[in-house]
């Protein structure tokens, strides 16, 4: 007998990986559906029931999706609530329509090569923050990258 499928929790993290010069690491989502190809993003992932807190979720997702652990993780104390896209809704309990996302930054000293899980991501690239902001598909990811100069350098972004 198969075990019942566990639904994803509607709480997640978004982790913007960046250098002190504000270069941002983006990952291209793997997808069985060619229509979804070319979706670029920062590290994202759902909180697991055994994660003690959101920082643990962020660190777990960083390691799973990139293999990166050397850097400084910062909780931006920013949350986004958004409607879960229809194509991903089956991963959640039937009555769940929205997700709450918690934003973190992860500063690495220099451009680093990530070790990708091919089931999740098929490519990676580093871009200056302004270009990264334009490349990501998610509005909340775009908004987080836009905040990077203020969060890291203490001044307002100029695009």
What domains sit in the chain, N to C, each tagged with a CATH number?
Answer: 11-153 (3.90.79.10)
What's the confidence (pLDDT) of residue 157? 58
CB 42 within 8 A of CB 147: no
**pLDDT (tens digit per residue) in 83-110:** 998 888 999 999 999 999 999 999 999 9
**pLDDT (tens digit per residue) in 103-131:** 999 999 999 999 998 889 999 999 999 99
**Start-to-end C-alpha separation, the chain:** 55
At 5, is the pLDDT very low, low, confident or very high (cuts 50, 70, 90)? low
**pTM greater than 0.75:** yes
Which of helix, strand or coil describes residue 70? coil
> Which are the contacts of 24, defined by CB distance < 8 A and separation ≥ 6?
16, 17, 18, 42, 126, 127, 128, 129, 132, 133, 145, 148
**pLDDT (tens digit per residue) in 22-62:** 999 999 998 755 555 589 999 999 999 999 999 999 999 99
């Amino acid at each position: 007998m198969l075990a019942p499928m566990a639904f994803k929790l509607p709480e997640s993290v978004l982790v913007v990986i960046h250098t002190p010069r504000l270069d941002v690491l983006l990952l291209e989502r793997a997808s069985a559906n060619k229509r979804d190809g070319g979706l670029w993003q920062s590290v994202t992932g759902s909180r697991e029931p055994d994660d003690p807190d959101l920082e643990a979720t962020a660190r777990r997702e960083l390691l799973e999706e990139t293999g990166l652990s050397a850097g400084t993780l910062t909780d931006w104390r920013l949350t986004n609530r958004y409607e879960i896209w229809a194509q991903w809704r089956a991963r959640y309990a039937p009555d769940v329509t929205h997700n709450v996302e918690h934003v973190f930054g992860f500063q690495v000293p220099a451009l680093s090569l990530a070790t990708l899980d091919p089931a999740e991501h098929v490519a990676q690239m580093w871009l200056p923050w302004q270009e990264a902001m334009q490349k990501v598909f998610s509005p909340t990811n775009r908004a987080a990258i836009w905040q990077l100069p203020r969060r890291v350098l203490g001044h307002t972004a100029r695009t």
